[in-house]
Amino acid sequence: MATFVKVAKRTDIADGGRMSVEVDGWAILVFRIGDDVYAVEDVCTHDGQPLTEGALVAGAVECPRHGARFDVRTGKALCMPAVEPVRVYNVRIAGDDIEVETPGS
């Protein structure tokens, strides 16, 4: 059974913003796009760069190191040099809280 943990309040992340969190020792990047919230592993699959400082453009985060882009909804790698997707995590909204499924669940 999936386990979710609170990582932030909805008001903590502005529309188009993001927050770096750690869940069970995993670095996770949480994005808000409109009323929707997404969570991806904060590690580029090309060479391990954190995506924390990457620009968010049209629903994709761009790796600040070599420019790979990942769809934050699906994790899919959208351009080279990355070919593997980043891991995505289920997110749920519980009242005012943003909860992310723990990586191990």
Binding site for ligand FES (CB under 6 A): 44, 46-47, 49, 63, 65-68, 81-82
When the beta carbons of 24 and 47 are compared against ligand FES, the nearer one is 47
18 contacts 100 by C-beta, under 8 angstroms: no
User: Minimum Å distance from CB 27 to ligand FES?
Assistant: 14
How many whole angstroms separate alpha carbon 35 and alpha carbon 48?
29
User: Minimum Å distance from CB 17 to ligand FES?
Assistant: 21
The count of other CB atoms within 10 Å of the CB of residue 94 is 10
User: Minimum Å distance from CB 46 to ligand FES?
Assistant: 3
User: Minimum Å distance from CB 12 to ligand FES?
Assistant: 26
When the beta carbons of 80 and 93 are compared against ligand FES, the nearer one is 80
What ranges make up the beta strands (E) of the chain? 4-9, 18-23, 26-33, 36-41, 56-57, 60-62, 69-71, 88-89, 91-94, 97-101
